[in-house]
Amino acid sequence: MITLTPGAVTLAELATVYRDEAPVRLDRAARPGIERAAEAIAAAAAGAAPVYGVNTGFGKLASMRIAPKDTATLQRNLILSHCCGVGAPIPRAHARLMMALKLLSLGRGASGVRWALIELLEQMLERGVTPVIPAQGSVGASGDLAPLAHMTAVIIGAGEAEFGGETLPGAEALTKAGLAPIQLGPKEGLAFINGTQFSTAFALAGLFDGWRAAEAALVTSALSTDAIMGSTAPLQPEIHQLRGHPGQIEAAATLRALLDGSEIRESHREGDTRVQDPYCIRCQPQVTGAAMDVIRMAARTLEVEANAATDNPLVLVEAGLIVSGGNFHAEPVGFAADMIALALAEIGAIAQRRIALMVDPTLSHDLPPFLTPDPGLNSGYMIAEVTTAALMSENKHLAHPTVTDSTPTSANQEDHVSMAAHGARRLGQMVENLDRILGVELLCAAQGIEFRAPLATSAPLRAVLARLRADVAPLGEDRCLAPDIEAAARLVATGAIADATGLPLPGLAA
């Protein structure tokens, strides 16, 4: 059980929620603030003054007054009418992270929901009741309305949820878990569906998985450098200190540590007729390091957003106000997702060029064509390289900004939106593509290094080769390479390749 403190949760805690599907609860110190805000909403509901979302309609219908006797119906109708998501259900891990993020937002004590709703959401996470949430339908402003409505529908006994390996009606899933639905009171439905938790959950997932790929890229690029007998002179620390970018400095230091002690490197320090390596070898710290810096910038934004109160209106208890604002607008998340997308695309672009270098006998410093011991009869990694070119190109297209693509909705009341939802959601596909590019680089670099025998690479990289060879045999005669690519990509995605080095690699928190 992880206890999350609203306003102070860390990326490390959120990564544990995402990767381990750990149950969570709010720090009980948040309860008094949550209850004071709920009392303020109850008082407003009993009063005569119009308060948006409490005794009025929503969006363009905000001028419509709602009678006190219709408050519960208003909130239920809000949830049901907004269950308009389409597409495949989102992954369970993303749905659970989304629920945890909603708890954190409500826990700031500015939303006006009752404590019983906090407890029900916690219990759903603990007992494994996961709402079925369609992937598409949010434009990332006025909150992630459709996906959050599907999440909230289960709380009121509607919608669908996964429980015990089955997809069940929401009420049935709650019953089987020993839980009961709750009728929403004033503003509570609005508090649940106004917010950026869908977009933020997907952006965080892209962040965590993308950083793991960035770590693996440092390892695979070190392997590639040794495979083509590249120079380590461009890793000289003074070069990178003179420029000053933290990611570049760290990437160069990591590459130096990974290659330290390589017999292959020592064998060509003297007498090598090549003056400079191609940019994909020489400029690795400048490219991958810059991508690391960009990912970390996005990480800071997403950590702030994970701790934010993002619904509307917000209850300012100390000021005695209930104020309509725009914290539901996911523009910060959209920018962060676009930044991560650019970084992922560039890590893959330079990795693909290293693969192309290794399979080309005119550039690979005497490696056999396409890294096969019997070229001509065998094609080796020829088409594996083509596959990485396709994945690289796909990621370039996916990296185009989404946050600039606003369109008016809801009768022009919501006339500028962030498009953060699909901007964040595309990161999952981009990371999968990148993992496969890096998986192919791992296969090619391992093959190239083995052709350098009896010269050996460094101890950390030998450990990486041993880990790979536990799952994938060297390539002799041609065989179907799709299973090898998937196996290598899994080693990248799970962090096994980075872990095999035994070295401390750069962390997400610089």
List own/partner pairs for 10-17 with CB under 8 A and 24 or more apart. 10/303, 11/204, 11/207, 11/208, 11/299, 11/302, 11/303, 11/306, 11/508, 11/509, 12/509, 14/97, 14/100, 14/101, 14/204, 14/306, 15/204, 15/208, 17/96, 17/97, 17/100
d(CA 184, CA 170): 15
- Please check whether residue 336 is in contact with residue 44, taking contact to mean a CB–CB distance below 8 angstroms: no
d(CA 404, CA 228): 41
- Helix/strand/coil for 5: coil
- Confirm whether 279 is a catalytic residue: no
The residue from 18, 52, 279, 381 that is catalytic is 52
Helical spans, DSSP H, in 164-244: 170-176, 188-193, 197-227, 237-243
Residues 6 or more apart in contact with residue 240 via CB below 8 angstroms: 248, 249, 252, 253, 285, 289
d(CA 243, CA 286): 10
Per-position b or e across 194-219, b if 16+ CB within 10 A of its CB: bbbbbbbbbbbbbbbbbbbbbbbbbb
β 24-26/2-4 pair status: parallel
d(CA 357, CA 507): 29
How crowded is the C-beta side of 322, counted as CA atoms within 13 Å? 25
Residue with tokens 């708890």: 103
- Please check whether residue 336 is in contact with residue 295, taking contact to mean a CB–CB distance below 8 angstroms: no
For residue 157, which phi and psi values (nearest 5 degrees)?
85, 20
Question: Which positions are catalytic?
Answer: 52
